[in-house]
Structure 1
């Protein structure tokens, strides 16, 4: 086998990331050397790669499904919103420029070579590349500038499978409409459909799928059932609308964790490991009363530390965080959340606000620099019994600690993080994925609160592997994997019919003259 396939969607959050991971895991089990790819990702959940770059968190998880380390070629363009109508654009793992939508689309001629070069590189080193689309394949207003869906498929001559989420309703219409809005040359690459998150007896759906085949000349390659507990690393905030599952407690009590849902929340997958512990209930909230009464509050990362800090003050959440700290309520800040907990932020880079007062709960001053820190870390947690620790940094801010106690130690010998009383902060994402660190922190919180809570025994890494295995199982059981492998090897079949109307009129290209 040698080739690639694009798994596109009728909309955002239809399951493209999850199904891509499942297909990757299935192929890897067959002994096929496979890699994931997403040309352009808009996400604030990111990961650091082995080659020192930054990519979308979902692509790092898909790489894990393939059994390979993540690398920058798997997500050559990462768009990270920083404010209304502005984003930081990361190209091949490094920040390249800040832009608005029109300026970004005007750069297509510069960005497409980076995309095609990264895809060609992966295809040259792997038997199969499973590509994930972005948003909807039929965003016809963006088609002239498209890098991630049909623009990519056309440029690479790649077969496409379109995915719809039947749980949100209208899946059959969405599949037909997505195909019909594509111009004939794009339609020629769409070889089939997948229906995701179906509940009930799939035989009820069969007449509709057969009509869809008659109307389009394309088969449905499978119907995936709705499955709880997969909790795949999310890439956008739509995932926050679905509550994290709560595992039954081992002991009599449970720990209640409130995660502040910041407007530009980033790397919120940091708390996934907490939710994997029995008897730990994790919820995202904007309610000050939730913050006051929780056993632990997590102030997560953000792509706009100063802007989201101002939002905390406007909403009363800042006051609630300060109040709980004054009464000994445990609070953990990660990256941007850590920066907010300090005395002062000096930012002439991200928000360009200059000197801004922090919440004053940690003796830390944070200054922002143009050069972004991108690093993987290993070390220990002297502040939590010396457990093995580690994580990764993605930040412009550089905290300077002026007191308190460091609770992490990098293998290089550098102290990391700051704790004062019941308030803890660190620049390391992923530190809670280390089992002994997470469990010691939760045990201390339970003990101080008088709770009889007991930790689980399953390593979080094993939990994640099991989730990926479940995705591979679902793909093997419910998709026509032979047809998928044939598409990867041979491309879309010739002579596929054009579904009327066969494409919307092409919009005028955005140019400098049209601004």
Structure 2
């Protein structure tokens, strides 16, 4: 096989990331050497590659689906929102500055198209197939002129386009038709067809609609994927986390011991890498929920203060909501608190920030003997070490540099009593360390909780990726999909003028 494909979507959250991962896993199981690609990603969930480059976590997950090591080529442009109107621009894994949305779309973005296409071309020269993920919708006509992730990439690289629609939201036929109709003739010529995602029920009831859609558009539907719980692995957007919901819960598996452990995650503004708690939620008998009120910490055995792209803003938010006082009470009572990255920084004595918020020196929560100073250069690293007698690996992404003045060393941070802080993302994915940490939490909380001795987070992730591959293999027209990847969009696809059915 030799070729490529762009997986676009009718909307954000249509399922592009997981469909891309599923196609990648299906192909690699067929013996195809495949790589993922996303020209531009907007996400607060990121990852550090072995060469020290920062990319979106979704592309790191897709690389795992391909059973290859992630690289900066797979996500050349990463935007990390710092508020409503500006983002940090990460180019080929390194930050190059902050830009407003107007400044970025006003000229900077189009200048990056050449870099994006060069990265894609390099991947295509190395792999049998490259499965590209789009962003948002290709029919965002106000942004088409500067597009470097949807039809701009498809046109530049001659890729066929598969449009994914989330039928669980309703209106999927209108979304499919409208997406194609809003595109130019040149863009429409690359849209080969559709893939229905998250279908519930009897697929035969859907088939008349699919036949009508083909009649209206002249395009094939490449599959109907059934709804499956628990497939939202490594979501891109840390700004839309459902508070007080079951965003991350492992309530299915009974505890290995007599008790469950309850973990409350403070849903701070601009929360980043909230995927850090996935490994906790994967542990039998551990229930994880996101919270934003002090009373929701009362029954928690562990409170996690996660990473954030706005440390000083998160600190203010914790104080305004009364969560800062609740955390201080927990610390005084010897009840466990874990701060990760930005969450670690705000647990310290003070923060000197002339980089991220430009707020100067700001008092922290004072729960750890740490002083933080923000540096213009970002730390991007893949550290490894030992904690609680167990090997640990992680990754670091931060501007703040911590000066640890006391306490007990803990990874690169420290602990005082039952307050723990580290810059290491992903440390809880190290199984032995996670179990040792949970035993400490259980002891401090007086719980008869025993971590399951055989839970492997890596194995669970592999199972999820195989399930995604199964969805493609069993519910997509894989023969047609393979032809599409190898040969491109069929010739002579009809142009649909906007409003044609009327």
TM-score of the aligned structures, taking structure 1 as reference length: 0.94
Structure 1 residues 33, 239: CA separation in 2 closer, same or farther (over 3 Å shift)? farther
In the aligned structure 1, how far is the partner of 2:143 from the partner of 2:254?
46
In the aligned structure 1, how far is the partner of 2:239 from the partner of 2:227?
17
Matched, 1:493 2:493: no
Which of residues 282, 287, 303 is equivalent to 1:276? Answer: 282
Gaps of 5+ in 2: none
**Equivalence for 1:244:** 248
Shift of residue 231 of structure 1?
4.1
Q: Secondary structure at the match of 1:233?
A: coil
Q: Secondary structure at the match of 2:304?
A: strand
Listed one character per residue, the Cα deviations across residues 150-174 of structure 1 (whole Å, up to 9, x for unaligned) are 1111111110000011111111111
Is the CA contact (8 Å cut-off) linking 1:193 and 1:222 kept in structure 2? yes
In the aligned structure 1, how far is the partner of 2:173 from the partner of 2:140?
18
Q: Which moved more, 1:238-247 or 1:165-174?
A: 238-247
Listed one character per residue, the Cα deviations across residues 203-244 of structure 1 (whole Å, up to 9, x for unaligned) are 111111111010000011000011113341111136633622
**Equivalence for 1:25:** 25
Q: Secondary structure at the match of 1:107?
A: helix
Listed one character per residue, the Cα deviations across residues 162-207 of structure 1 (whole Å, up to 9, x for unaligned) are 0011111111111111111111111100001001011111111111
Matched, 1:204 2:205: yes
**Equivalence for 2:444:** 448
**Equivalence for 1:436:** 432
Is the CA contact (8 Å cut-off) linking 2:338 and 2:419 kept in structure 1? yes
Shift of residue 346 of structure 1?
0.7
Matched, 1:167 2:168: yes
Is the CA contact (8 Å cut-off) linking 1:229 and 1:245 kept in structure 2? no
**Equivalence for 1:510:** none
Shift of residue 252 of structure 1?
2.5
In the aligned structure 1, how far is the partner of 2:443 from the partner of 2:415?
18
Q: Secondary structure at the match of 2:298?
A: helix
In the aligned structure 2, how far is the partner of 1:329 from the partner of 1:237?
27
Is the CA contact (8 Å cut-off) linking 1:13 and 1:238 kept in structure 2? no
**Equivalence for 1:458:** 455
In the aligned structure 2, how far is the partner of 1:319 from the partner of 1:453?
28
Which of residues 276, 301, 304 is equivalent to 1:295? Answer: 301
Matched, 1:358 2:355: no
Q: Secondary structure at the match of 2:111?
A: helix
Q: Secondary structure at the match of 1:83?
A: coil
Q: Which moved more, 1:232-241 or 1:466-475?
A: 232-241
Gaps of 5+ in 1: 409-415, 504-515
Shift of residue 250 of structure 1?
2.2
**Equivalence for 1:411:** none
Shift of residue 251 of structure 1?
2.4
Is the CA contact (8 Å cut-off) linking 1:216 and 1:497 kept in structure 2? yes
TM-score of the aligned structures, taking structure 2 as reference length: 0.96
Which of residues 376, 392, 415 is equivalent to 1:389? Answer: 392
**Equivalence for 1:508:** none
Structure 1 residues 238, 165: CA separation in 2 closer, same or farther (over 3 Å shift)? farther
In the aligned structure 2, how far is the partner of 1:206 from the partner of 1:287?
47
Is the CA contact (8 Å cut-off) linking 1:292 and 1:323 kept in structure 2? no
Listed one character per residue, the Cα deviations across residues 459-494 of structure 1 (whole Å, up to 9, x for unaligned) are 111111111111111110011122122111111111
**Equivalence for 2:70:** 70
In the aligned structure 1, how far is the partner of 2:302 from the partner of 2:151?
45
**Equivalence for 2:89:** 89
In the aligned structure 1, how far is the partner of 2:149 from the partner of 2:258?
49
Q: Secondary structure at the match of 2:6?
A: strand
In the aligned structure 1, how far is the partner of 2:34 from the partner of 2:24?
6
Which of residues 391, 409, 419 is equivalent to 1:406? Answer: 409
Q: Which moved more, 1:323-332 or 1:392-401?
A: 323-332
In the aligned structure 1, how far is the partner of 2:417 from the partner of 2:151?
54
In the aligned structure 1, how far is the partner of 2:142 from the partner of 2:361?
41
**Equivalence for 2:152:** 151
In the aligned structure 2, how far is the partner of 1:482 from the partner of 1:399?
54
In the aligned structure 2, how far is the partner of 1:325 from the partner of 1:84?
33
Is the CA contact (8 Å cut-off) linking 2:335 and 2:444 kept in structure 1? no
Matches within 5 A, 1:57-136: 57-105=57-105, 106-136=107-137
In the aligned structure 2, how far is the partner of 1:342 from the partner of 1:327?
18
**Equivalence for 1:422:** 418
In the aligned structure 1, how far is the partner of 2:256 from the partner of 2:46?
33
Moved over 6 A (4+): none
Q: Which moved more, 1:149-158 or 1:68-77?
A: 149-158
Shift of residue 351 of structure 1?
0.8
Paired residue total? 493
Q: Which moved more, 1:18-27 or 1:243-252?
A: 243-252
Listed one character per residue, the Cα deviations across residues 84-140 of structure 1 (whole Å, up to 9, x for unaligned) are 201100011000121011110111332111101110110010000000000111111
In the aligned structure 1, how far is the partner of 2:298 from the partner of 2:83?
28
Shift of residue 444 of structure 1?
1.6
Matched, 1:257 2:263: yes
How big is the alpha-carbon RMSD for the aligned residues of Structure 1 and Structure 2?
1.3
Q: Which moved more, 1:236-245 or 1:112-121?
A: 236-245
In the aligned structure 2, how far is the partner of 1:176 from the partner of 1:141?
18
